[in-house]
Each structure stands twice: as C-alpha cells, then as structure tokens.
Amino acid sequence: MLRPVLLYLSKAVWARRVVTGWGFARRASSRFVAGESLEAAIGAVQTLGARGLNATLDHLGEQVTTAAEARAAAGDYLVILDRICAAGVRSNASLKLSQLGLGVDTELCRDNLRQIVRKGAECGIFIRIDMEDSATVDRTLDIYRSLAAERLTDVGLVLQAYLFRTEDDLRSLLAEGARIRLCKGAYQEPPTIAFAKKADVDRNYDRLTSMMIAASLQTGSEPSSADGRLPARTALATHDPRRIEFARQEAARLGLPPRALEFQMLYGIRADLQHALGAEGYPVRIYVPYGTEWYPYYIRRLAERPANVWFFLSNLIRG
C-alpha cells in the first residue's frame, strides 16, 4: 500500500510545498541527487568517470505549464551540452518531454528537442528521452519518430516493462533501429494497462531483455563508445540482481560480448553492484540527476524500495 501513496504524493502540490520546506528532506535527497548546480553534477560525473563508470546527466524538472518555461528548460539543456563537451566527461544527457513543453504544445516540444539533439550531435553527445506516464507514450513515440525521419539519430528512448503495450512497441522500435533503455517503470498505472504484480513485471522485463539481446545480435552488437558518450545498443536499467543475472546468462548463451550489454543504474543506489559489473567488463552508466526540482524524482525513488523510505525516516530522526 505504501507505493501508491508515495506515487500520489510525488504529484501532489501541497505535499511538495510541505516536504521541500523540511531541511532534512533536502539533505536526505542528496543521496540520490548530485546537488542543485550543474557544476556539482559535472563534479559527480568526473568522480564516476575516474572509477570507470559512464553517466547520463538529467536536469530535474517536469510538467512545465507555459511556453516560456519550456523554452527556458531547452536553453538549460543547451548549456548542459556545452559544459559536458568542454569538460570532456564521460556523459550523455537524459530529459523528459513534459519539461520541454509536451503538455503545452506538441510542436513547441518537438522544436525544443530538435535543437537539443542537433546541439548534442555537434559534440557527439547522445540524448535519451525518458518515458513518463502512460498518457504520454504515444506522443513521445511520435516525436522520436519524427526526428528519426529527419535523420537525427543521436537520440534514443526509454520503454517501461510494466506496461502491457511495451512488447509491441519494443518490437516495432527495434525493427526501426532505435536505441532503447529498458526499465521497469516508476509511475502509478491502472491494472487495465499495466502489470500490477512485481513477479509479472519481472517476467516481462526478462522477456523484453531477450528481445533486445536477440535484436542486437541481428543488427550488430554495438558496444558503448570508449568515451562513454554513445550507449550500447542493449541498455538495461535495473538494480535487480535476478534481472541482471538473467541478462548476463542470456547474452552469454547467444554470444553477445560483455562490452555490448550496458547496465544503467541510478546515482546513489547499489554502488557495489555498479563497480562489480564494471570490473567484469560490462559498461555501466549512472543516471545523474541534479537541480532544484528534486521533489517528484526523490519521492518516486522512495516508492521503489522500502529501504529508501527507512533512509528518509532516519534523516527525519537525525533532523
């Protein structure tokens, strides 16, 4: 019952107002958020790079309500790309379309994303479109495909294993040559469109993983680039040891080399697993969020694992 409550709170304006006023909440969020400034985030990426880990930077923010906010967010990402390029760090960038104006005007959002992807291509920086709740999926796929039709190829998508539709979406996108990051999903969805039980999500995740590995072998098992900018074609976002072991065994069974199977994890979660996989030759990419809009992201992290809630409560006690 705790997860639905937390997911509700992640969108509740009154809860955001209350929690962001608590100093201990900001301190607790620093476990999962690499600071409020771009410089802090670049420093975190440099530290990860020194340990052999790649990164993707996310400037936190979503659900803007005006065109001015959307254009400002796009401008922020252009600055981020310049900074990644100048610093020479092992990072690409991730973003949410609702931050670029998806809920305001689809064409505005498309234009903002186009600017960012073109800017990234100038410096060889890959752009990953994060998937949001189910209401945004069709528009997200449409915008991605329209940019692909313009031969803007340095951009990929995230798909969520808990949605019933994802197997069909994945099959189509793999046939189109899309670069996909597979995750389980972090939003509250009705049981009419999403698996409600963890075991069912896990089974679907493994099934989709097999599809991605098989497709990677058919199209060429392209590994992540040496500088960490381009992700491997098979990118799996999970901290679940069982899902990771399944992927490793499936890749070995089909002959996919370790360098072509990329594991992606969240900043501040399972550093031990990140380093162990990297030591075994797998590319590991860390999702590094930063910024002042940390509240919804942080509450969704609490919803994912009970241990994260206890971490929050321990900060409450210390605060």
Encode pLDDT of 197-251 as tens digits.
999 999 999 999 999 999 988 776 666 777 777 888 899 999 999 999 999 999 9
Q: What is the pLDDT of residue 306?
A: 56
Q: Please write the tens of the pLDDT for every residue from 108-142.
A: 999 999 999 999 999 999 999 999 999 999 999 99
pLDDT at 18 over 60: no
Q: What CA–CA distance (Å, rounded) separates 105 from 296? A: 22
pLDDT at 282 over 80: yes
DSSP summary character for residue 287: E
Structure tokens at 159: 């798909």
The answer to pTM > 0.85 is yes
Report CA torsion sign: 71, 299, 27, 131: negative
Q: What is the pLDDT of residue 318?
A: 43
pLDDT at 55 over 70: yes
Catalytic residues: 130, 181
82-97 average pLDDT score: 96
How distant is the alpha carbon of residue 210 from its chain centre?
Answer: 20
Least confident of 11-25, 74-88, 153-167, 217-231: 11-25
pLDDT at 143 over 50: yes
158-178 average pLDDT score: 97
Q: What is the pLDDT of residue 22?
A: 54
> CB neighbours of 129 closer than 8 A, spacing ≥ 6?
94, 95, 96, 97, 113, 140, 143, 144, 155, 156, 157, 158
Residue in the block written with tokens 């922020």? 76
For a pLDDT cut of 70, what percent of the chain falls above it?
82
Residue type, position 58, single letter: D
Where b means 16+ CB within 10 Å and e means fewer, 271-290 reads eebbeebbeeebbbbbbbbb
> Averaging pLDDT over each range in 4-13, 220-229, 260-269, 306-315, which range is the top one?
260-269
How many other C-beta atoms lie within 10 A of the C-beta of residue 73? 22
Structure tokens at 226: 């040496």
Mean of the per-residue pLDDT values of the chain: 88
Q: Are 228 and 249 in contact (CB under 8 A)?
A: no
Query: Domains of the chain (ranges plus CATH)?
Result: 1-33+298-319 (no CATH), 35-293 (3.20.20.220)
